[in-house]
Amino acid sequence: MYRLPSAVTTRAATPGGLAWGCGRRTAHYRARLPPLGPGWVGGLGLGLGLALGAKLAGGLRGATPAPSPTAPDPEVSPQVETPPPKEQPLAPWSPQTPTPPTSRLYARAIDSSRDLLHRIKDEVGAPGIVVGVSVDGKEIWSEGLGYADVENRVPCKPETVMRIASISKSLTMVALAKLWEAGKLDLDIPVQHYVPEFPEKEYEGEKVSVTTRLLISHLSGIRHYEKDMKKVKEEKAYKALKIMKEIEADQEKELKEKGGKSNERNDFAKAKIEQDEAKGRNSKPGKKKNDFEQGSQFLYSTFGYTLLAAIVERASGYKFLDYMQKIFHDLDMLTTVQEENEPVIYNRARFYVYNKKRRLVNTPYVDNSYKWAGGGFLSTVGDLLKFGNAMLYGYQVGLFKNSNENLLPGYLKPETMVMIWTPVPNTEMSWDKEGKYAMAWGVVEKKQTYGSCRKQRHYASHTGGAVGASSVLLILPEELDADSLCNKVPPRGIVVSIICNMQSVGLNSTALKIALEFDKERSDIP
């Protein structure tokens, strides 16, 4: 019974199928078997017809295209034909997803930079580190290494939020610059004009003037975290003496080469140092005494930026945080916020330090509300890249105006950015001895002393160090000339941001190496 339909359908599909059936029936009669009854004959015919129809229908379905989704085959149940799996869209780029096309052009720079970061991370024992790089305003690479939360094994990723520490000073500078451009802030009048509650200061028994400009460049004489100013002064005096000895050695060398015998200049310099030291020892402290004379010595001070926050409030008429949030909105820095313990901040990392036994532990609770302006904001590498590119655009847009009149204005005017990135005399850049502090940025100027030797590139950067965190934002502008402006639009250059959930990690030299790697790779691209 089960063989008959399959045999019949197989034969029926061939041209000789009908003859085969007739032959079989004739053979039945030749064998003189009992004749089949009418019911058997009818049933057999019906069975053959159904089997033949099913086979032909199956063949036709196999030969024709699949029915369209708008007209499904009513004879096929939904379980028989399953729709093909839909193609899943890729998540935003991460180390696990395919590299964006632009990033492939910088594959070598990315690989070497990643290797460098792994080495730095291993050397200092940092739990996690996040890096972001943009080239000519486009984010090329962002990646997280290690853990944002060691206890819960949460890996670092580009969206990880960390403390940016003193990079906050560069953000606060934007607020001050906008107010200065609007004519609401004078950088060179005493701060008491805006904050009358701030007491007047004295130095060597004489009243002195603390201005906004001096506060910005850490020349106001207001102290930093170190309360023992004797230590600070001793360190400053040691540095000054060391510099003077170096100058003396150079002068003596020059005199010997020229055959000179006079050491009057050296004697005068020594006398001046001794006189200054005697003044410092014998000076009578005033009622409200500054630690240094304004403008004469560089004393890095985060507390000075707390005073600048009060100046922003009085000059703008808004609360400091409200004014800063407006700036973050304008710059599209949507994940940058002030650090507070209570709010739920998604992707916020935890912060770590090593104890005396060199074991990794969580940092103690800190309240950074007293220094939001100087070191209290949280951000991501992506937001810092946006900020860096906005500054670079404002710095360069003036150069491109003649070749492209359709360019939008920068967030800050070109002349403002030039002022901000101009090194200030008597300042220091602790993270790169080649540079000077400007206005809330450290700046290294272009320099080359000898032919075919080291060439110092112009760049601006700011590092940050906080409880359980280290950071850097570095901007390496492209070296432009009149001929290279054609068919280009700002910003032109490399921006690198690195954040880390471990304190006391020097990151500026690492950021500079990464920037130079990408700059070299860009120059090799046709």
Contact 381, 497 (CB under 8 A): yes
Residue 219 confidence (pLDDT): 95
Least confident of 170-179, 285-294, 355-364: 285-294
Give the number of domains in the chain. Answer: 1
Average the pLDDT over 54-76 and give the result: 45
* Position with higher pLDDT, 59 vs 351: 351
* Phi-psi domain of 295 (left: phi exceeds 0; alpha: psi -120 through 50; beta: other): left
* Position with higher pLDDT, 217 vs 221: 217
Instruction: Tell me the C-alpha distance between 279 and 363, whole Å.
Output: 42
Residue 341 has pLDDT above 90, yes or no: yes
Average the pLDDT over 252-281 and give the result: 50
Question: Per the domain annotation, does 219 fall within a domain?
Answer: no
Q: What is the pLDDT confidence band of residue 85, given thresholds at 50, 70 and 90? A: very low
Residue 315 is encoded by which pair of tokens?
């000059």
Residue 218 has pLDDT above 80, yes or no: yes
Least confident of 5-19, 339-353, 388-402, 428-442: 5-19
Q: What is the pLDDT confidence band of residue 404, given thresholds at 50, 70 and 90? A: confident
pTM for the full predicted model: 0.72
Q: How far is residue 526 CA from its own chain's centroid?
A: 27
Average the pLDDT over 86-101 and give the result: 46
Phi, psi (rounded to 5 degrees) for 416: -70, -45
Residue 487 confidence (pLDDT): 80
* Position with higher pLDDT, 131 vs 480: 131
Instruction: Tell me the C-alpha distance between 468 and 453, whole Å.
Output: 39
Average the pLDDT over 219-236 and give the result: 70
Residue 206 confidence (pLDDT): 87
Residue 162 has pLDDT above 50, yes or no: yes
437-445, Cβ contacts within 8 angstroms, sequence gap of 24 or more: 437/217, 437/218, 437/298, 438/217, 439/173, 439/213, 439/216, 439/217, 440/169, 440/170, 440/172, 440/173, 440/216, 441/170, 441/173
Contact 479, 459 (CB under 8 A): no
Residue 501 has pLDDT above 60, yes or no: yes
For residue 412, the domain's CATH number is: 3.40.710.10
Residue 17 has pLDDT above 80, yes or no: no
Contact 155, 163 (CB under 8 A): no
Least confident of 85-99, 210-224, 417-431, 449-463: 85-99
Q: Kindly name the residue from 113, 166, 379, 470 that is annotated as catalytic.
A: 166
Question: Per the domain annotation, does 390 fall within a domain?
Answer: yes
Q: What is the pLDDT confidence band of residue 280, given thresholds at 50, 70 and 90? A: very low
Question: Per the domain annotation, does 270 fall within a domain?
Answer: no
190-195, Cβ contacts within 8 angstroms, sequence gap of 24 or more: 191/215, 191/307, 191/311, 194/310, 194/311, 194/314, 194/315, 195/307, 195/310, 195/311, 195/314
Residue 2 confidence (pLDDT): 42
Residue 385 has pLDDT above 90, yes or no: yes
Q: Which domain holds residue 360?
A: 107-166+335-447+455-524
Return the number of other C-beta atoms located less than 10 Å from residue 415's C-beta. 11
Question: Per the domain annotation, does 357 fall within a domain?
Answer: yes
Average the pLDDT over 141-152 and give the result: 98
Q: What is the pLDDT confidence band of residue 497, given thresholds at 50, 70 and 90? A: very high
Residue 422 has pLDDT above 70, yes or no: yes
Question: Per the domain annotation, does 123 fall within a domain?
Answer: yes
Residue-averaged pLDDT of the chain: 80
Residue 49 confidence (pLDDT): 54
Residue 45 confidence (pLDDT): 52
* Position with higher pLDDT, 17 vs 203: 203
Instruction: Tell me the C-alpha distance between 112 and 134, whole Å.
Output: 16
Return the exposure string of 440-471: e unless at least 16 CB atoms fall within 10 Å of the residue's CB, then b. bbbbbeeeeeeeeeeeebbbbbbbbbbbbbbb
Average the pLDDT over 194-198 and give the result: 97
Question: Per the domain annotation, does 33 fall within a domain?
Answer: no
Contact 389, 402 (CB under 8 A): no
Q: What is the pLDDT confidence band of residue 402, given thresholds at 50, 70 and 90? A: confident
Residue 468 has pLDDT above 90, yes or no: yes
Average the pLDDT over 52-56 and give the result: 51
Q: What is the pLDDT confidence band of residue 202, given thresholds at 50, 70 and 90? A: confident
Residue 355 confidence (pLDDT): 94
Residue 387 has pLDDT above 80, yes or no: yes
Q: What is the pLDDT confidence band of residue 507, given thresholds at 50, 70 and 90? A: very high
Residue 327 is encoded by which pair of tokens?
């700036």
Please indicate whether residue 166 is annotated as part of the active site.
Answer: yes
Residue 5 is encoded by which pair of tokens?
């339909």
Residue 304 has pLDDT above 60, yes or no: yes
Average the pLDDT over 412-434 and give the result: 96
* Position with higher pLDDT, 8 vs 359: 359
Least confident of 6-20, 132-146, 371-385, 389-403: 6-20
Q: Please report, rounded to a whole number, the percentage of residues in the chain having pLDDT higher than 90.
A: 59
Residue 269 confidence (pLDDT): 45
437 has which bridge partners?
442
Residue 33 confidence (pLDDT): 45
Least confident of 55-59, 101-105, 513-517: 55-59
Question: Per the domain annotation, does 303 fall within a domain?
Answer: no
Question: Per the domain annotation, does 101 fall within a domain?
Answer: no
Residue 374 has pLDDT above 60, yes or no: yes
Q: What is the pLDDT confidence band of residue 258, given thresholds at 50, 70 and 90? A: low
Residue 294 has pLDDT above 90, yes or no: no
Instruction: Tell me the C-alpha distance between 517 and 491, whole Å.
Output: 18
Instruction: Tell me the C-alpha distance between 308 and 354, whole Å.
Output: 33
